[in-house]
Structure 1
Amino acid sequence: MKTSQVDVLIIGAGPAGLAAAIELKKSGVKSVRVIERERVAGGVPRHSFHPGYGLRDFKRFLSGPRYAQKYVDAAVEAGVQISTLSTATEWVNDSQVRVTSPAGIETITARSIILATGARERARAARAVPGKRPAGIYTTGSLQQSTYLEDLEIGTRAVVVGAEHVSFSAVMTLKHAGVKTVAMLTDKNKHESIGLVRVALGIWYRFKLITKTEIVEVLGDKRVTGVRIRRAGVESVIACDTIVFTGNWIPDNELVRRGGFAIDSIYKSPVVNATAQISGTSIYAIGNLVLPIKAADQCAVDAKTVAKKVAASLR
């Protein structure tokens, strides 16, 4: 089994992980390695083609792929080692992680470890929505990958479930794929995005926001044909061939649980102190692994602050 040592190991190569890595190198940390289970570094923004990234950190209005690539390029230029197709599978102890990659199994020892594994949307199954399992059901992430990376045919009429900021991103992706959003559903009293975004996109894309709504059943056998909803005690059906489940985030905390570290009972994130550190360890958690959910550029800005503290602790 291969073994290696670094000053700081970062698990997750999204904006938070890469921003932390770059800041660590700037702060004089000699060896920084980032591992990423995907084939390409950059995180979720790399398949989110609409603009809106980079205002807080780059002071620019960038598309997701451009934003992600800026961080990848800057990390490589700073001398950060990025290992893709590499998955942290288990803890040996608080300073050693076992990693699986096409090269085999490797044990990495680090003076400090930063967890930047992010969060994911709850899919239809995790929400226990009744009905069969027809084609045409997505999360925002799977929709973006199918649209932008794989150029797959999506459908014609869509219902978006959820009214968070990411839900409006799904509407824009559907438009790019040639799909008409007919309704956005939420069980909340109002949307959870920026008011200007909701008004502008509602006018531009002409979809109906339906609040205080419960999804009763997904309709369709081989393909989605509609969704049955209940509002104010009255049931109705919205005809569609595509359903996108958005938001309702859960942190990607599998590695935290395997390490036996404390998890917050509300957000299911690792419990950290004011410096983002898991108490009694040299392990830190950053980005959207620590909910509530934040924009990518906010995660990057926060990660830089934590990285400075990690560098100081190593000195």
Structure 2
Amino acid sequence: MRILLLGANGQLGRTFLDQGGLAARGDLLAASRDGVLVDGRHGEIADLSIPESLPALLDRAQPDVIVNAAAYTAVDRAEQEEALATRVNGEAVGVLGQWAATHDALVIHYSTDYVFDGRQSQPYEVDARTAPLGAYGRSKLAGERALRDSGADHLIFRTAWVYAAHGHNFLRTMLRLGAEREELRVVADQHGAPTDTSLIVNGSLTALDRWLATDRNEQPPLLGTHHLVAGGATSWHGFATEIFEQAEMLGLLARQPRVLPISSAEFATPAVRPAWSLLDNSGFRQRFNFPLPDWQQGLREVVRTLATSGH
């Protein structure tokens, strides 16, 4: 089996490479925008901002499985660069799907809570009405639709509040600011389930294994859109508070800063964030028999990784 990993240098792509699960399942080709991987090795070049360049790569690689961990993720900048965000998150995904449909390949793709408006008060089910609030959400919804319309076998995993021990994310920003400041003001009226990339990778591999082990005629119920997020719920303020407690306990911070709750209105950003980002993950748990523990468990593991690696 040949596997093509797109976005190998991003948060999620790096975790796929670090954990080695894809390479253990087949002949893995890793691709980044410039073809250079984080560890200095050379991989394939895949620039999703130029969708028309992708068929040549796919024809050469001939993957049986395409794992698309590449995305335009600059939520605020997308308000000024919606055409670019839509090329990367929408049009390019459609190109992947069209190639996969023609060549009988599976596409694993990642989407986001931003396809919803965040105005309801219970976790969003997979088939809930989509209504993105901004350009980033619209671009990701365009990708979902393009992949579905392509006719390719696909698994779309919506996730939310993603973080890792590497890359640019809320956890690493909080640790940096917490070391510099006595007091931080953090939004307390947006709610979600922080989800570490290891959970997403392990869930993705479990779903892939199940798909591979299932008879062709019985695969369709496994395919489609799923919510792959950690369990539980918190606010950004609650997430920050827990980060600092764990970091102090494990010696990453000498002391915890004060964390003051503020409203979204007090922290204005170009893009409006969903106030309610909780996704109902019960379907994923049941369909793939995969536990999705509360978000605190993943946080403990990531902070422990940072502490033991000397960051």
Q: What TM-score, normalized by structure 2, do the two folds share? A: 0.31
Bigger relative contact order, structure 1 or 2 (CA pairs below 8 A, ≥6 apart): 1
Specify the structure having the higher radius of gyration (Cα).
1
Bigger fraction of residues in strand: 1
Bigger fraction of residues in helix: 2
